[in-house]
Amino acid sequence: MTLPMDTDVPSSPTDRGAVAVAMRDITVRFPGVLALDGVDLTLHAGEVHALMGENGAGKSTLIKALTGEQRIDAGTITVDGRVRELRGTSDAQEAGIATVYQEVNLCANLSVGENLMLGGEPRRRGAIDWRELHRRAGEHLRGLGVEIDTRSRLSGHSIAVQQLVAISRAIMQEASVLVLDEPTSSLDRSEVERLFAVVRELRDRGVAVLFVTHFLDQVYEISDRITVLRNGALVGDYPVDELPRPELVARMIGRDLDELEALSDSSARVIDRSGAPVIRARGLARRGALEAVDVDVFDGEIVGLAGLLGSGRTELARLLAGADHPDRGHLEKRGTPVRLGTPRHAIAQRIVFSSEDRRAEGVVPDLSVAENIVLGVQARRGWMRPIAAAERDELVARSIAELGIRPADPNALVRNLSGGNQQKVLLARWLATAPELLILDEPTRGIDVGAKADIQRKVAELARAGLAVVFISSELDEVLRLAQRIAVMRDHRKIGELDAREVGLDAVVEMIAQEDPAPSPEPATSAPRSRT
Amino acid sequence: MTDTPVALGARPSLRERADRFRARRASWIPVSAAVGILVVMFAVGQAYFGNFLTPRVLSSLLLDNAYLIVLAVGMTFVILTGGIDLSVGSVMAFTGILCARMLSEGAPTGVVIPLVIVLGALMGLATGVLVQVFEVQPFIASLAAMFAARGLAFVVSLSSIKLEDPFVLALQSTRLAGGGWYLTPTGIIAIATVVIAALVLHFTRFGRTVYAVGGSEQSARLMGLATARTKVLAYVISGTCAGIAGVLFTAYSGAGYPLNGIGTELDTIAAVVIGGTLLTGGTGYVLGSMIGVFVYGTIKVLISFLGAEQSWTRITIGALLLVFVVVQRVIVARSSRS
């Protein structure tokens, strides 16, 4: 396939490439929901086009319509001037649309070269010609500026390299359209750079790139145009320099920016630390996970745990929540010593924990929203005392309304909810148990701006009403905005505490990055809970 | 992590070469372990008994386990896709007894043998369709096939049927001998099966798709590979191998018997796992499975040399299996961490 030719689709200004993809009036209905309502999307050759919107805005559905995974109920998809009916991923591939997903969709058990060539292996006399295969794969990778041994197993490479291989594979099939569905979510800064270099190279070759991400920085770094969706409908299609960042956010969430700004300056609140703390940890430690930590959380206080992934922040949260056993140290709740052997004990003490891995350790995907919310209350009561249906319905309805869970359907399966809404369900579950200490590990990771703001607002509100909160987030500005006190973690130790009213982002970053007098030989990766 | 590019062209240092070897050939480690164990067992047997490593013993190793090698080859395909086939022992019994019965009633050999092999393939097809189309767990689907085949074996005959067909008997009794070594047609069939399977797995798109499906079915599908067909075909191959094994086992034991092969499916799985194939799929080699069968066979021989109860074979296999599964677990854990 060659680059797109002139088409009969409405043409673009002369300074842009030809129209590569024109999606018109795309409508997709799910049972009870209009997922996409007459959405248009136009991709031009040689440009990077960002698709933005909250979770649930219809981004994934639109992408799936383009990659052939989702049948459309109405509308047309024109690729390179030809109207296409995409009935499956292979149809899309044939049309020249290649997709790279958030999770690397390659076979880690095979070699790099094979992952590139699988399905299109060069053959000689009926048998796969391995030498030729690796030669072509290597040539192709080098063409994109990637130098790796094509005979090595993919599983031995970092996610970033795997992602590059995935992109290379996508491009190998002479694709004229490349869809990048949150490819950067698990990459670090330098890895993102490497990926963007490849994306720019492709753009310059005339490939139309559709880029989906939650990271606004990256949108502004690499995109030429932005299409914004909200609630399944098109908000607009803008050149990137005509849509400043606050405008973009406002259009994505359809709310006034002031409202966002007004998100209570929670961190400025003065906390009364005169009484007994809700929880007091002294010398809490666990071998291989955490060195002795002291921490207090008082009524109405939000304590932020700042630190890099693997710094021990999750480990501390788990010890406070009874999810892991401490080897040493002790805990006091309101002045009374407690032993939290299991999360069950913790729940009995009204200490609840929302894990960073919400799919595996949080929600039960195959249960409904209502069932997921009621789980916590039921666990507290014990299974012998069922909750009356009326009470249950009332609780669920209240939770859905308060947290703004979408869809507002108690019977929807949680697996079908977006990440942000799953997180809200999880929060609702624990709030229903009337906790005294709420421990949130990365509650806003991987969720969209709107849901993020909802959750932050809710947490701030709860704390104002007297709830003690431990809040973990990789996004330091979020921690700074919410928490009144910040415990900084590094190398499985607490290295200090900061008063959020007095310090800024820089101070926290500096503390995290401080040179350690006794550098630990194996940072981050040895933390047992960090699986990334 | 092997993120650092390997300098191609320049003469690599020893360390670089070791790294590259590890990055490329890590999946052969379990197979090498199986070879190592086999060598150690040979050495111990030889040191202890003195007359262990003789052409006769080694030749009989292949003869006695020919049917198991064929079963293990089929099983390897299924396990590589991430599935399991519990039906092979029963299918072997069914095709074996059917073969003996039809031959005893005078049906021509040239018809009977292809027919029973095709029947085996059809049983595999049924399992494969259950797994792929009806999304039944491979364990359950093949369990159903296992019961069905065992029942069919009893329908064919409730008792043993002696084999008198000269061709089938010749599969076992013909010996290509030389210097104490010998090779039977059954052994040749077993080795041919391994060779063909290895070529298919390594040099055809179907074979590579088997590995891809085992690595990540979702990815394989998104890559546009024929995953559905591949998975079904893996079970068909396993069924076909069970059909062939039925003929081989009938030739080997000189009779068809409906209670043959009870527990053989588990021996087969054990051999495949000991041979370095990961039960999670995607990693393993038929060559390894053959080595696994030899390990299994050698344990049997060692125990009979010792004059101990054959039940010790099972205990030893059990222990060995345990060790291998733990080793595999460690390998998987290590690779998923990087």
Residue A529's pLDDT band (cuts 50, 70, 90):
very low
Chain A residue numbers touching B283 (CB-CB < 8 A)? 109
Chain A residue numbers touching B222 (CB-CB < 8 A)? 89, 99, 101, 105
Q: How many CB atoms lie within 10 A of CB A271?
A: 16
Out of A289-303, B21-35, B94-108, pick the least confident: B21-35
Q: Taking CB atoms and an 8 Å limit, are A152 and B23 in contact across chains?
A: yes
Q: How many helices (H) and strands (E) are present in chain A, helices listed first? A: 18, 22
Whether B24 contacts chain A with CB within 8 A:
yes
Whether B19 contacts chain A with CB within 8 A:
no
Out of A492-496, A505-509, B114-118, B170-174, pick the least confident: A505-509
pLDDT confidence of residue A515: 57
What percentage of residues in chain A have a pLDDT greater than 70?
89
Own/partner pairs, A347-350, CB within 8 angstroms, 24+ separation: A347/A376, A347/A379, A347/A380, A347/A433, A348/A380, A349/A436, A350/A433, A350/A434, A350/A435, A350/A436, A350/A437
Q: Where are the domains of chain A?
A: 19-107+157-253, 277-359+435-513
- Stated pTM of the model: 0.71
Q: Taking CB atoms and an 8 Å limit, are A153 and B219 in contact across chains?
A: no
Nearest to A421 by CA among A405, A438, A445: A405
Q: Which of A61-70, A82-91, A97-106 has the highest mean pLDDT?
A: A61-70
pLDDT confidence of residue A6: 39
Q: Average pLDDT, stretch A432-446? A: 88
pLDDT confidence of residue A98: 87
Distance from C-alpha of A410 to C-alpha of A413, rounded to nearest angstrom: 8
Q: Average pLDDT, stretch A48-59? A: 83
Q: Average pLDDT, stretch B167-188? A: 90
Out of A1-15, A103-117, B86-100, B184-198, pick the least confident: A1-15
Q: Read off the pLDDT of residues B36-65 as tens digits, 9 standing for 90 and up.
A: 889 998 999 999 988 888 998 899 999 999
Q: Read off the pLDDT of residues A374-384 as tens digits, 9 standing for 90 and up.
A: 888 888 887 78
Q: Taking CB atoms and an 8 Å limit, are A107 and B219 in contact across chains?
A: yes
Given a cut of 90, is residue A232 above it in pLDDT? Answer: no
Q: Taking CB atoms and an 8 Å limit, are B205 and A157 in contact across chains?
A: no
Q: How many CB atoms lie within 10 A of CB A117?
A: 24
Helix, coil or strand: residue A58 = coil
Encoded tokens for A2: 């060659």
Measure CB to CB from residue B2 to each of A93, A101, A157 and give the nearest one.
A157
Q: Average pLDDT, stretch B218-233? A: 90
Nearest to A445 by CA among A404, A478, A483, A480: A478
Check residues B22 and B299 and name the one with the higher pLDDT: B299
Out of A89-98, A444-453, B258-267, pick the least confident: A444-453
Check residues B288 and A449 and name the one with the higher pLDDT: B288
Are the C-beta atoms of residues A159 and A187 closer than 8 Å to each other?
yes
Check residues A225 and A530 and name the one with the higher pLDDT: A225
Fold of A19-107+157-253: Rossmann fold (3.40.50)
> Could you tell me whether strands A437-441 and A468-472 are parallel, antiparallel, or unpaired per DSSP bridges?
parallel
Buried b (16+ CB within 10 A) or exposed e, A213-239: bbeeebbbebbbbbbbbbebebbeebe
What single letter denotes the amino acid at residue B103?
A: L
Selected residue of A102, A133, A152 to mutate for chain B interface (largest B Cβ count, 10 A): A152
User: What is the DSSP secondary structure assignment for residue A12, as one 8-state letter?
Assistant: P
Given a cut of 80, is residue B325 above it in pLDDT? Answer: no
Chain A residue numbers touching B331 (CB-CB < 8 A)? none
Looking at the domain that runs over A277-359+435-513, which CATH code has it been given? 3.40.50.300
Are the C-beta atoms of residues B248 and B264 closer than 8 Å to each other?
no
Shortest CA distance from A69: residue in chain B = B222
Measure CB to CB from residue A109 to each of B3, B20, B282 and give the nearest one.
B282
Give me the total of CB pairs closer than 8 Å, taking one residue from chain A and one from chain B: 100
Q: Where are the domains of chain B?
A: 53-261+277-286
Q: What's the start-to-end Cα distance of chain B, in Å?
A: 6
Maximum CA pair distance of chain B? 70
Residue A527's pLDDT band (cuts 50, 70, 90):
very low
Chain A residue numbers touching B338 (CB-CB < 8 A)? 155-156
Residues 6+ apart with CB under 8 A from B102: B112, B115, B116
Helix, coil or strand: residue B203 = helix
From residue A151, alpha-carbon distances to A147, A166, B20, B130 in Å are 12, 16, 9, 36
